[in-house]
Copies of this chain bind each other. A is one copy, B any other.
Amino acid sequence: MAENSDEINECKAEEETEKNWTRTSHTHSFLESLTPSDREGNSSTQSSHRLLAYSDALISIIATVMILPVAHTKLEDDEELKESLRQLLTTKIAVYLMTFLIVTVAWAAHIRLFQVIERTDDFLALLNLACMMLITFLPYTFSLMATFPENILGILLFCACVIVIGMIQAVIVVYGFSHPFLLNDQIQMSDNQDYYKWHILKVIFRVPILCLIAIIFSFIFTPLSYVLLAIVVFLPYISQSVKWCCRKATGQQEDSHDAMLLYSYHPNEPLSKERVEAFSDGVYAIVATLLILDICEDNVPDPKVVQEKFNGRLVEALQEFGPEFLAYFGSFATVGLLWFVHHSLFLHVTKTTRLMGLLNTFSLAFVGGLPLAYQLTHEFPHNSRNELEAIQISCAIIFLAGVFQLAIWVVALFGERAALHPYVRYSGRDHAFMFAKLALYPCVTLGTFVLTCFLTRFSAPIFHLMEITVPFAFLLLRLLVRASLALLRLLLSPIRRAVHSARGENETYRPLSEEAT
Protein backbone atom coordinates (compact mmCIF):
# COMPACT_ATOMS: atom_id res chain seq x y z
CA MET A 1 0.00 0.00 0.00
CA ALA A 2 2.47 2.60 1.14
CA GLU A 3 5.27 1.33 -1.03
CA ASN A 4 4.50 3.57 -3.94
CA SER A 5 4.08 6.63 -1.84
CA ASP A 6 7.16 5.76 0.12
CA GLU A 7 9.20 5.56 -3.01
CA ILE A 8 8.01 8.89 -4.25
CA ASN A 9 8.41 10.50 -0.89
CA GLU A 10 11.82 9.01 -0.33
CA CYS A 11 12.99 10.46 -3.60
CA LYS A 12 11.56 13.79 -2.60
CA ALA A 13 13.06 13.50 0.85
CA GLU A 14 16.49 12.84 -0.54
CA GLU A 15 16.33 15.74 -2.91
CA GLU A 16 15.05 18.06 -0.23
CA THR A 17 17.54 17.04 2.41
CA GLU A 18 20.33 17.48 -0.07
CA LYS A 19 19.01 20.93 -0.67
CA ASN A 20 18.87 21.55 3.05
CA TRP A 21 22.40 20.37 3.59
CA THR A 22 23.76 23.01 1.31
CA ARG A 23 22.03 25.70 3.30
CA THR A 24 24.11 27.92 5.44
CA SER A 25 21.83 27.95 8.42
CA HIS A 26 18.81 25.87 9.33
CA THR A 27 17.08 28.71 11.05
CA HIS A 28 16.67 30.53 7.78
CA SER A 29 16.28 27.69 5.33
CA PHE A 30 12.58 27.99 6.15
CA LEU A 31 12.41 31.17 4.16
CA GLU A 32 15.30 30.49 1.84
CA SER A 33 13.55 27.52 0.28
CA LEU A 34 10.75 29.67 -1.01
CA THR A 35 12.20 30.62 -4.35
CA PRO A 36 9.33 30.96 -6.78
CA SER A 37 10.77 28.45 -9.24
CA ASP A 38 11.03 25.84 -6.51
CA ARG A 39 9.61 22.78 -8.32
CA GLU A 40 6.29 24.53 -8.86
CA GLY A 41 3.72 21.77 -8.86
CA ASN A 42 5.92 18.76 -8.24
CA SER A 43 6.46 19.33 -4.56
CA SER A 44 2.85 18.45 -3.83
CA THR A 45 2.63 15.34 -5.98
CA GLN A 46 1.40 12.31 -4.09
CA SER A 47 0.76 8.69 -4.77
CA SER A 48 -2.95 8.32 -5.39
CA HIS A 49 -3.20 5.02 -3.54
CA ARG A 50 -4.97 6.18 -0.42
CA LEU A 51 -7.24 8.55 -2.30
CA LEU A 52 -8.46 5.61 -4.34
CA ALA A 53 -8.82 3.37 -1.29
CA TYR A 54 -11.03 5.99 0.36
CA SER A 55 -13.08 6.43 -2.82
CA ASP A 56 -13.53 2.66 -3.02
CA ALA A 57 -14.73 2.55 0.57
CA LEU A 58 -17.23 5.36 -0.05
CA ILE A 59 -18.55 3.88 -3.29
CA SER A 60 -18.89 0.38 -1.86
CA ILE A 61 -20.95 1.68 1.05
CA ILE A 62 -23.19 3.68 -1.26
CA ALA A 63 -23.67 0.73 -3.61
CA THR A 64 -25.05 -1.39 -0.80
CA VAL A 65 -27.07 1.27 0.98
CA MET A 66 -30.29 0.75 -0.91
CA ILE A 67 -30.67 -2.74 0.54
CA LEU A 68 -31.60 -1.06 3.84
CA PRO A 69 -35.07 0.12 2.72
CA VAL A 70 -35.66 -3.43 1.49
CA ALA A 71 -34.43 -4.98 4.72
CA HIS A 72 -36.51 -2.68 6.88
CA THR A 73 -39.76 -3.43 5.07
CA LYS A 74 -41.75 -5.45 7.56
CA LEU A 75 -43.43 -8.43 5.99
CA GLU A 76 -46.67 -9.60 7.49
CA ASP A 77 -46.88 -13.30 8.16
CA ASP A 78 -50.18 -13.85 6.38
CA GLU A 79 -49.08 -16.72 4.18
CA GLU A 80 -48.75 -14.23 1.38
CA LEU A 81 -45.04 -13.73 1.24
CA LYS A 82 -45.34 -14.17 -2.49
CA GLU A 83 -47.73 -11.26 -2.79
CA SER A 84 -45.70 -8.89 -0.65
CA LEU A 85 -42.51 -10.12 -2.25
CA ARG A 86 -43.92 -9.29 -5.64
CA GLN A 87 -44.49 -5.74 -4.43
CA LEU A 88 -40.97 -5.63 -3.01
CA LEU A 89 -39.46 -7.11 -6.13
CA THR A 90 -41.07 -4.58 -8.40
CA THR A 91 -39.91 -1.52 -6.50
CA LYS A 92 -37.37 -1.71 -3.71
CA ILE A 93 -35.31 -4.66 -4.87
CA ALA A 94 -35.29 -3.22 -8.38
CA VAL A 95 -34.10 0.10 -6.95
CA TYR A 96 -31.39 -1.73 -5.02
CA LEU A 97 -30.14 -3.67 -8.02
CA MET A 98 -30.27 -0.66 -10.36
CA THR A 99 -28.48 1.52 -7.82
CA PHE A 100 -25.85 -1.15 -7.41
CA LEU A 101 -25.34 -1.29 -11.15
CA ILE A 102 -25.30 2.47 -11.67
CA VAL A 103 -22.93 3.10 -8.78
CA THR A 104 -20.59 0.40 -10.04
CA VAL A 105 -20.71 1.99 -13.49
CA ALA A 106 -19.66 5.28 -11.86
CA TRP A 107 -16.98 3.37 -9.99
CA ALA A 108 -15.70 1.81 -13.22
CA ALA A 109 -15.50 5.29 -14.75
CA HIS A 110 -13.56 6.41 -11.68
CA ILE A 111 -11.11 3.51 -12.09
CA ARG A 112 -10.67 4.30 -15.76
CA LEU A 113 -9.95 7.94 -14.95
CA PHE A 114 -7.36 7.14 -12.29
CA GLN A 115 -5.64 4.58 -14.47
CA VAL A 116 -4.75 7.57 -16.64
CA ILE A 117 -4.00 9.98 -13.77
CA GLU A 118 -1.71 7.91 -11.58
CA ARG A 119 -0.48 10.56 -9.19
CA THR A 120 -2.47 13.24 -7.47
CA ASP A 121 -2.01 16.49 -5.70
CA ASP A 122 -4.17 18.49 -3.33
CA PHE A 123 -6.26 20.05 -6.06
CA LEU A 124 -7.16 16.68 -7.56
CA ALA A 125 -7.85 15.23 -4.11
CA LEU A 126 -10.37 17.99 -3.40
CA LEU A 127 -11.99 17.63 -6.84
CA ASN A 128 -12.26 13.90 -6.22
CA LEU A 129 -14.00 14.51 -2.90
CA ALA A 130 -16.55 16.74 -4.65
CA CYS A 131 -17.07 13.98 -7.21
CA MET A 132 -17.60 11.43 -4.41
CA MET A 133 -20.18 13.65 -2.76
CA LEU A 134 -22.23 13.67 -5.94
CA ILE A 135 -21.85 9.92 -6.49
CA THR A 136 -23.10 9.21 -2.97
CA PHE A 137 -26.17 11.29 -3.78
CA LEU A 138 -27.08 9.20 -6.87
CA PRO A 139 -28.99 6.45 -5.01
CA TYR A 140 -31.36 9.03 -3.58
CA THR A 141 -32.19 10.52 -6.98
CA PHE A 142 -32.74 7.00 -8.22
CA SER A 143 -35.19 6.12 -5.49
CA LEU A 144 -37.05 9.38 -6.25
CA MET A 145 -37.31 8.21 -9.86
CA ALA A 146 -38.64 4.83 -8.78
CA THR A 147 -41.18 6.29 -6.34
CA PHE A 148 -42.38 9.05 -8.66
CA PRO A 149 -41.86 7.72 -12.19
CA GLU A 150 -44.12 10.38 -13.68
CA ASN A 151 -42.43 13.30 -11.98
CA ILE A 152 -39.41 14.67 -13.84
CA LEU A 153 -37.66 15.88 -10.67
CA GLY A 154 -35.86 12.56 -10.19
CA ILE A 155 -34.54 12.60 -13.75
CA LEU A 156 -33.51 16.23 -13.46
CA LEU A 157 -31.59 15.63 -10.23
CA PHE A 158 -29.97 12.47 -11.57
CA CYS A 159 -28.93 14.14 -14.83
CA ALA A 160 -27.69 17.22 -13.01
CA CYS A 161 -25.50 15.04 -10.78
CA VAL A 162 -24.16 13.08 -13.75
CA ILE A 163 -23.43 16.25 -15.71
CA VAL A 164 -21.55 17.83 -12.81
CA ILE A 165 -19.62 14.58 -12.22
CA GLY A 166 -18.70 14.55 -15.91
CA MET A 167 -17.54 18.15 -15.75
CA ILE A 168 -15.40 17.47 -12.69
CA GLN A 169 -13.87 14.47 -14.44
CA ALA A 170 -13.14 16.61 -17.48
CA VAL A 171 -11.46 19.21 -15.27
CA ILE A 172 -9.38 16.43 -13.69
CA VAL A 173 -8.32 15.19 -17.14
CA VAL A 174 -7.43 18.66 -18.40
CA TYR A 175 -5.53 19.42 -15.20
CA GLY A 176 -3.74 16.07 -15.41
CA PHE A 177 -2.64 16.60 -19.01
CA SER A 178 -1.40 20.09 -18.21
CA HIS A 179 0.75 18.59 -15.42
CA PRO A 180 2.14 15.56 -17.26
CA PHE A 181 4.04 14.20 -14.24
CA LEU A 182 0.65 13.22 -12.81
CA LEU A 183 -0.08 10.93 -15.73
CA ASN A 184 0.32 7.22 -16.28
CA ASP A 185 3.93 6.52 -17.34
CA GLN A 186 2.79 4.99 -20.63
CA ILE A 187 0.93 8.16 -21.64
CA GLN A 188 3.66 10.37 -20.18
CA MET A 189 6.17 8.73 -22.54
CA SER A 190 3.89 8.69 -25.54
CA ASP A 191 4.22 11.20 -28.36
CA ASN A 192 0.55 11.70 -29.04
CA GLN A 193 -0.58 12.89 -25.63
CA ASP A 194 -3.04 15.19 -27.34
CA TYR A 195 -4.69 12.24 -29.05
CA TYR A 196 -5.16 10.51 -25.69
CA LYS A 197 -6.47 13.68 -24.11
CA TRP A 198 -9.12 14.26 -26.74
CA HIS A 199 -10.08 10.60 -26.87
CA ILE A 200 -10.62 10.53 -23.11
CA LEU A 201 -12.47 13.86 -23.06
CA LYS A 202 -14.71 12.62 -25.87
CA VAL A 203 -15.60 9.49 -23.92
CA ILE A 204 -16.20 11.46 -20.72
CA PHE A 205 -18.35 14.12 -22.40
CA ARG A 206 -20.53 11.57 -24.20
CA VAL A 207 -22.43 10.87 -20.97
CA PRO A 208 -23.18 14.47 -19.86
CA ILE A 209 -24.30 15.40 -23.38
CA LEU A 210 -26.72 12.48 -23.53
CA CYS A 211 -27.96 13.48 -20.07
CA LEU A 212 -28.52 17.01 -21.33
CA ILE A 213 -30.63 15.59 -24.16
CA ALA A 214 -32.48 13.42 -21.63
CA ILE A 215 -33.30 16.55 -19.62
CA ILE A 216 -34.70 18.24 -22.71
CA PHE A 217 -36.77 15.18 -23.60
CA SER A 218 -38.03 14.83 -20.04
CA PHE A 219 -39.98 18.08 -20.53
CA ILE A 220 -41.50 16.77 -23.76
CA PHE A 221 -42.01 13.04 -23.31
CA THR A 222 -40.77 11.48 -20.05
CA PRO A 223 -40.50 7.77 -21.01
CA LEU A 224 -38.09 8.63 -23.82
CA SER A 225 -35.69 10.19 -21.35
CA TYR A 226 -35.65 6.96 -19.32
CA VAL A 227 -34.73 5.04 -22.45
CA LEU A 228 -32.03 7.58 -23.14
CA LEU A 229 -30.64 7.18 -19.62
CA ALA A 230 -30.56 3.39 -19.98
CA ILE A 231 -28.65 3.85 -23.22
CA VAL A 232 -26.22 6.23 -21.53
CA VAL A 233 -25.37 3.68 -18.90
CA PHE A 234 -25.33 0.42 -20.78
CA LEU A 235 -24.73 1.08 -24.47
CA PRO A 236 -20.92 1.08 -24.43
CA TYR A 237 -20.89 -2.25 -22.62
CA ILE A 238 -23.50 -3.87 -24.83
CA SER A 239 -22.00 -2.69 -28.11
CA GLN A 240 -18.50 -3.72 -27.10
CA SER A 241 -19.65 -7.08 -25.79
CA VAL A 242 -21.51 -7.80 -29.02
CA LYS A 243 -18.47 -6.75 -31.05
CA TRP A 244 -16.24 -8.95 -28.92
CA CYS A 245 -18.58 -11.96 -29.24
CA CYS A 246 -18.74 -11.48 -33.02
CA ARG A 247 -14.97 -11.38 -33.19
CA LYS A 248 -14.68 -14.52 -31.07
CA ALA A 249 -17.32 -16.27 -33.16
CA THR A 250 -15.73 -15.40 -36.49
CA GLY A 251 -12.28 -16.12 -35.08
CA GLN A 252 -11.09 -12.72 -36.24
CA GLN A 253 -7.92 -11.49 -34.59
CA GLU A 254 -8.51 -8.62 -32.22
CA ASP A 255 -7.07 -5.24 -32.88
CA SER A 256 -4.40 -5.21 -30.20
CA HIS A 257 -4.21 -1.42 -30.28
CA ASP A 258 -7.88 -1.30 -29.47
CA ALA A 259 -7.53 -3.77 -26.61
CA MET A 260 -4.58 -1.96 -25.08
CA LEU A 261 -6.17 1.45 -25.18
CA LEU A 262 -7.60 2.69 -21.95
CA TYR A 263 -11.16 4.00 -22.26
CA SER A 264 -12.05 1.41 -24.90
CA TYR A 265 -14.90 -0.36 -23.02
CA HIS A 266 -13.42 -3.59 -24.35
CA PRO A 267 -14.20 -6.67 -22.16
CA ASN A 268 -10.47 -7.34 -21.98
CA GLU A 269 -9.66 -3.75 -20.99
CA PRO A 270 -7.57 -4.04 -17.85
CA LEU A 271 -9.22 -3.07 -14.58
CA SER A 272 -7.02 -2.31 -11.58
CA LYS A 273 -6.98 -5.54 -9.55
CA GLU A 274 -6.15 -3.62 -6.42
CA ARG A 275 -9.26 -1.50 -6.73
CA VAL A 276 -11.53 -4.43 -7.52
CA GLU A 277 -10.27 -6.00 -4.30
CA ALA A 278 -10.69 -2.81 -2.29
CA PHE A 279 -14.23 -2.30 -3.58
CA SER A 280 -15.17 -5.93 -2.91
CA ASP A 281 -13.72 -5.71 0.60
CA GLY A 282 -15.84 -2.64 1.26
CA VAL A 283 -19.03 -4.31 0.06
CA TYR A 284 -18.35 -7.53 1.99
CA ALA A 285 -17.53 -5.55 5.15
CA ILE A 286 -20.63 -3.37 5.06
CA VAL A 287 -22.88 -6.29 4.17
CA ALA A 288 -21.43 -8.45 6.95
CA THR A 289 -22.20 -5.73 9.49
CA LEU A 290 -25.58 -4.55 8.14
CA LEU A 291 -27.48 -6.70 10.63
CA ILE A 292 -25.40 -5.73 13.65
CA LEU A 293 -26.15 -2.08 12.81
CA ASP A 294 -29.82 -2.84 13.32
CA ILE A 295 -29.25 -5.14 16.28
CA CYS A 296 -27.24 -2.54 18.19
CA GLU A 297 -29.92 0.02 17.65
CA ASP A 298 -33.18 -1.90 17.98
CA ASN A 299 -32.52 -5.02 20.01
CA VAL A 300 -31.55 -3.58 23.36
CA PRO A 301 -34.75 -4.07 25.37
CA ASP A 302 -36.26 -1.21 27.31
CA PRO A 303 -35.48 -1.57 31.05
CA LYS A 304 -39.10 -0.73 31.92
CA VAL A 305 -40.46 -3.42 29.60
CA VAL A 306 -38.07 -5.98 31.04
CA GLN A 307 -39.16 -5.05 34.56
CA GLU A 308 -42.87 -5.21 33.82
CA LYS A 309 -43.15 -7.99 31.27
CA PHE A 310 -40.36 -10.34 32.32
CA ASN A 311 -40.00 -9.53 36.04
CA GLY A 312 -36.49 -8.24 35.38
CA ARG A 313 -35.29 -11.46 33.80
CA LEU A 314 -33.13 -10.09 31.00
CA VAL A 315 -32.29 -13.47 29.46
CA GLU A 316 -35.95 -14.16 28.82
CA ALA A 317 -36.41 -10.73 27.28
CA LEU A 318 -33.46 -11.34 24.98
CA GLN A 319 -34.84 -14.69 23.85
CA GLU A 320 -37.36 -12.70 21.86
CA PHE A 321 -34.47 -11.41 19.77
CA GLY A 322 -32.96 -14.88 19.35
CA PRO A 323 -33.84 -15.12 15.64
CA GLU A 324 -32.13 -11.79 14.94
CA PHE A 325 -28.90 -12.98 16.57
CA LEU A 326 -29.02 -16.25 14.67
CA ALA A 327 -29.59 -14.34 11.44
CA TYR A 328 -26.64 -12.08 12.27
CA PHE A 329 -24.20 -14.89 12.94
CA GLY A 330 -25.47 -16.87 9.97
CA SER A 331 -25.16 -14.02 7.52
CA PHE A 332 -21.83 -12.84 8.95
CA ALA A 333 -20.41 -16.35 8.55
CA THR A 334 -21.75 -16.75 5.01
CA VAL A 335 -20.58 -13.31 3.88
CA GLY A 336 -17.24 -13.90 5.60
CA LEU A 337 -16.77 -17.24 3.84
CA LEU A 338 -17.77 -15.80 0.48
CA TRP A 339 -15.16 -13.11 1.11
CA PHE A 340 -12.70 -15.87 1.94
CA VAL A 341 -13.40 -17.58 -1.41
CA HIS A 342 -13.08 -14.24 -3.21
CA HIS A 343 -9.82 -13.59 -1.41
CA SER A 344 -8.42 -16.99 -2.39
CA LEU A 345 -9.52 -16.50 -5.98
CA PHE A 346 -7.86 -13.11 -6.30
CA LEU A 347 -4.61 -14.45 -4.85
CA HIS A 348 -4.36 -16.53 -8.01
CA VAL A 349 -5.64 -13.94 -10.45
CA THR A 350 -2.87 -11.73 -11.75
CA LYS A 351 -4.83 -9.40 -13.98
CA THR A 352 -8.47 -8.40 -13.88
CA THR A 353 -10.40 -7.42 -16.97
CA ARG A 354 -13.58 -5.44 -17.41
CA LEU A 355 -15.57 -8.64 -17.94
CA MET A 356 -14.30 -10.10 -14.67
CA GLY A 357 -15.18 -6.82 -12.98
CA LEU A 358 -18.73 -7.09 -14.30
CA LEU A 359 -19.10 -10.67 -13.05
CA ASN A 360 -17.70 -9.57 -9.71
CA THR A 361 -20.31 -6.82 -9.56
CA PHE A 362 -23.11 -9.34 -10.13
CA SER A 363 -21.70 -11.58 -7.42
CA LEU A 364 -21.50 -8.63 -5.00
CA ALA A 365 -25.04 -7.52 -5.83
CA PHE A 366 -26.32 -10.89 -4.63
CA VAL A 367 -24.09 -10.82 -1.58
CA GLY A 368 -25.76 -7.54 -0.68
CA GLY A 369 -29.14 -9.27 -0.53
CA LEU A 370 -27.93 -11.98 1.82
CA PRO A 371 -28.55 -10.38 5.24
CA LEU A 372 -32.11 -9.64 4.20
CA ALA A 373 -32.69 -13.24 3.09
CA TYR A 374 -31.19 -14.60 6.31
CA GLN A 375 -33.34 -12.33 8.39
CA LEU A 376 -36.42 -13.59 6.55
CA THR A 377 -35.59 -17.23 7.27
CA HIS A 378 -36.02 -16.60 10.98
CA GLU A 379 -38.98 -14.28 10.88
CA PHE A 380 -41.75 -16.71 10.12
CA PRO A 381 -43.17 -19.58 12.22
CA HIS A 382 -41.73 -23.03 11.65
CA ASN A 383 -43.07 -25.08 8.77
CA SER A 384 -44.99 -22.18 7.24
CA ARG A 385 -44.86 -21.74 3.51
CA ASN A 386 -43.21 -18.37 4.04
CA GLU A 387 -40.35 -19.93 5.94
CA LEU A 388 -39.75 -22.45 3.18
CA GLU A 389 -39.76 -19.72 0.56
CA ALA A 390 -37.40 -17.55 2.60
CA ILE A 391 -34.99 -20.47 2.94
CA GLN A 392 -35.15 -21.25 -0.75
CA ILE A 393 -34.57 -17.59 -1.63
CA SER A 394 -31.53 -17.56 0.68
CA CYS A 395 -30.17 -20.66 -1.04
CA ALA A 396 -30.76 -19.14 -4.46
CA ILE A 397 -28.97 -15.90 -3.48
CA ILE A 398 -25.92 -17.72 -2.07
CA PHE A 399 -25.94 -20.00 -5.10
CA LEU A 400 -25.91 -17.08 -7.54
CA ALA A 401 -23.25 -15.18 -5.57
CA GLY A 402 -21.08 -18.31 -5.64
CA VAL A 403 -21.76 -19.09 -9.28
CA PHE A 404 -20.66 -15.63 -10.40
CA GLN A 405 -17.43 -16.07 -8.42
CA LEU A 406 -16.96 -19.36 -10.25
CA ALA A 407 -17.61 -17.52 -13.52
CA ILE A 408 -14.73 -15.12 -12.75
CA TRP A 409 -12.47 -18.15 -12.35
CA VAL A 410 -13.71 -19.66 -15.62
CA VAL A 411 -13.13 -16.38 -17.47
CA ALA A 412 -9.64 -16.20 -15.97
CA LEU A 413 -8.96 -19.82 -17.01
CA PHE A 414 -10.22 -19.55 -20.56
CA GLY A 415 -9.49 -15.91 -21.17
CA GLU A 416 -6.12 -14.36 -21.60
CA ARG A 417 -3.04 -16.35 -20.69
CA ALA A 418 -1.75 -13.67 -18.33
CA ALA A 419 -4.85 -13.58 -16.15
CA LEU A 420 -3.88 -16.44 -13.84
CA HIS A 421 -0.76 -17.67 -12.14
CA PRO A 422 0.49 -20.57 -14.28
CA TYR A 423 0.72 -22.91 -11.32
CA VAL A 424 -3.06 -22.93 -10.87
CA ARG A 425 -3.87 -22.77 -14.57
CA TYR A 426 -3.89 -26.37 -15.65
CA SER A 427 -2.63 -28.72 -13.06
CA GLY A 428 -1.64 -29.45 -9.52
CA ARG A 429 -3.28 -29.58 -6.16
CA ASP A 430 -3.71 -25.80 -6.05
CA HIS A 431 -5.90 -25.93 -9.12
CA ALA A 432 -8.12 -28.65 -7.68
CA PHE A 433 -8.22 -26.96 -4.30
CA MET A 434 -9.25 -23.60 -5.75
CA PHE A 435 -11.96 -25.26 -7.78
CA ALA A 436 -13.25 -27.06 -4.68
CA LYS A 437 -13.37 -23.77 -2.76
CA LEU A 438 -15.33 -22.05 -5.49
CA ALA A 439 -17.69 -24.95 -6.01
CA LEU A 440 -18.46 -25.59 -2.35
CA TYR A 441 -21.14 -22.95 -1.81
CA PRO A 442 -22.95 -23.45 -5.14
CA CYS A 443 -23.01 -27.22 -4.61
CA VAL A 444 -24.11 -27.10 -0.99
CA THR A 445 -26.86 -24.55 -1.61
CA LEU A 446 -28.09 -26.39 -4.66
CA GLY A 447 -28.25 -29.54 -2.56
CA THR A 448 -30.08 -27.72 0.23
CA PHE A 449 -32.52 -26.21 -2.23
CA VAL A 450 -33.35 -29.59 -3.79
CA LEU A 451 -33.63 -31.24 -0.38
CA THR A 452 -36.01 -28.57 0.94
CA CYS A 453 -38.20 -29.13 -2.11
CA PHE A 454 -38.66 -32.77 -1.17
CA LEU A 455 -38.40 -32.63 2.61
CA THR A 456 -40.46 -29.48 3.11
CA ARG A 457 -41.16 -30.35 6.73
CA PHE A 458 -37.47 -30.43 7.63
CA SER A 459 -36.43 -27.39 5.59
CA ALA A 460 -35.39 -25.32 8.61
CA PRO A 461 -33.19 -28.04 10.23
CA ILE A 462 -31.59 -28.79 6.86
CA PHE A 463 -30.81 -25.11 6.35
CA HIS A 464 -29.36 -24.68 9.83
CA LEU A 465 -27.29 -27.83 9.40
CA MET A 466 -25.93 -26.33 6.19
CA GLU A 467 -25.06 -23.07 7.99
CA ILE A 468 -23.15 -24.94 10.67
CA THR A 469 -21.32 -27.47 8.51
CA VAL A 470 -20.07 -25.14 5.77
CA PRO A 471 -17.44 -23.33 7.91
CA PHE A 472 -16.06 -26.68 9.03
CA ALA A 473 -16.11 -27.91 5.44
CA PHE A 474 -13.90 -24.93 4.54
CA LEU A 475 -11.55 -25.75 7.42
CA LEU A 476 -11.21 -29.36 6.28
CA LEU A 477 -11.38 -28.65 2.55
CA ARG A 478 -7.65 -29.07 2.02
CA LEU A 479 -7.75 -32.50 3.64
CA LEU A 480 -10.84 -33.49 1.67
CA VAL A 481 -9.32 -32.41 -1.64
CA ARG A 482 -6.07 -34.17 -0.83
CA ALA A 483 -7.90 -37.37 0.09
CA SER A 484 -10.06 -37.36 -3.02
CA LEU A 485 -7.05 -36.64 -5.24
CA ALA A 486 -5.10 -39.45 -3.61
CA LEU A 487 -8.03 -41.74 -4.31
CA LEU A 488 -8.13 -40.50 -7.89
CA ARG A 489 -4.40 -41.14 -8.29
CA LEU A 490 -4.79 -44.63 -6.87
CA LEU A 491 -7.52 -45.39 -9.35
CA LEU A 492 -5.72 -43.85 -12.31
CA SER A 493 -2.21 -45.09 -11.61
CA PRO A 494 -2.48 -48.31 -13.74
CA ILE A 495 -3.74 -46.27 -16.69
CA ARG A 496 -1.10 -43.64 -16.15
CA ARG A 497 1.67 -46.19 -16.08
CA ALA A 498 0.43 -47.66 -19.34
CA VAL A 499 0.31 -44.25 -21.05
CA HIS A 500 3.65 -43.33 -19.57
CA SER A 501 5.46 -46.34 -21.00
CA ALA A 502 3.76 -45.93 -24.38
CA ARG A 503 5.16 -42.42 -24.86
CA GLY A 504 8.49 -42.87 -23.17
CA GLU A 505 10.37 -40.88 -25.83
CA ASN A 506 8.29 -37.76 -25.18
CA GLU A 507 10.34 -36.92 -22.08
CA THR A 508 11.25 -33.46 -23.32
CA TYR A 509 7.69 -32.37 -23.96
CA ARG A 510 6.82 -29.31 -21.99
CA PRO A 511 3.36 -28.34 -20.79
CA LEU A 512 1.45 -25.36 -22.05
CA SER A 513 2.09 -23.41 -18.91
CA GLU A 514 5.54 -22.65 -20.22
CA GLU A 515 4.06 -20.38 -22.81
CA ALA A 516 2.09 -18.58 -20.19
CA THR A 517 5.11 -17.36 -18.29
Interface residues, chain A, CB within 8 Å of chain B? 1-3, 5-6, 9, 12-13, 15-17, 20-21, 23-26, 28-31, 33-34, 38, 43-44, 46, 49-51, 53-54, 57-58, 61-62, 65-66, 68-69, 72, 122-123, 125-126, 129, 132-133, 136-137, 139-140, 143-144, 147-148, 151, 153, 273-274, 277-278, 281-282, 284-286, 288-289, 292-293, 295-297, 299-301, 303, 306, 312, 314-315, 318, 329, 332-333, 336-337, 339-340, 343-344, 346-348, 350, 421-423, 426-432, 471, 474-475, 477-478, 482, 485-486, 488-489, 492, 496, 499-500, 503, 506-507, 509-514, 517
Contacts and interface: CB of A to CB of B under 8 A. Distances in A.
A427 B16 CA distance: 10
B423 A315 contact: no
A281 B26 contact: no
Give 4 closest A-B pairs by Cβ, nearest first.
A26-B511, A16-B423, A57-B285, A30-B427
A403 B341 CA distance: 42
Contact of A61 (B286, B429, B500, B507): B286
21 contacts: A20-B513, A20-B514, A25-B500, A25-B506, A26-B510, A29-B427, A30-B427, A30-B431, A33-B428, A34-B486, A54-B281, A58-B289, A61-B286, A122-B340, A122-B477, A125-B343, A129-B333, A129-B339, A136-B288, A153-B314, A153-B318
A60 to B, nearest CB: 8
Nearest to A422: B17
Contacts of A132: 336
Nearest to A9: B421
A33 B292 contact: no
A142 to B, nearest CB: 9
Contact of A58 (B44, B288, B295): B288
Contacts of A337: 129
Number of copies of this chain that the complex holds: 2
A503 B422 contact: no
Highest count of chain B CB atoms <10 Å: which of A16, A295, A303:
A16
A125 B437 CA distance: 14
Given A143-B296, A300-B143, A339-B54, A26 B512 contact: yes
Q: Classify the interface of chain A: helix, strand, loop or mixed.
A: helix
A340 B24 contact: no
B282 A57 contact: yes
A422 B13 contact: yes
Given A69-B297, A289-B61, A509 B24 contact: yes
A482 B427 contact: no
Nearest to A274: B1
A57 B133 CA distance: 20
A419 to B, nearest CB: 13
Given A29-B428, A500-B24, A297 B68 contact: yes
Contacts of A344: 122
A24 B54 contact: no
B20 A427 contact: yes
Contacts of A143: 296, 300
Contacts of A510: 21, 26
Nearest to A43: B430
A340 B503 contact: no
Most buried by B among A284, A340, A423, A477: A423
Nearest to A318: B153
Nearest to A485: B34
Given A427-B33, A514-B21, A129 B340 contact: yes
A273 B38 CA distance: 30
Given A26-B512, A430-B43, A423 B17 contact: yes
Nearest to A336: B129
Contact of A273 (B2, B273, B281, B329): B2
A147 B286 contact: no
A26 B426 contact: yes
B34 A429 contact: yes
Contact of A347 (B5, B15, B488, B513): B5
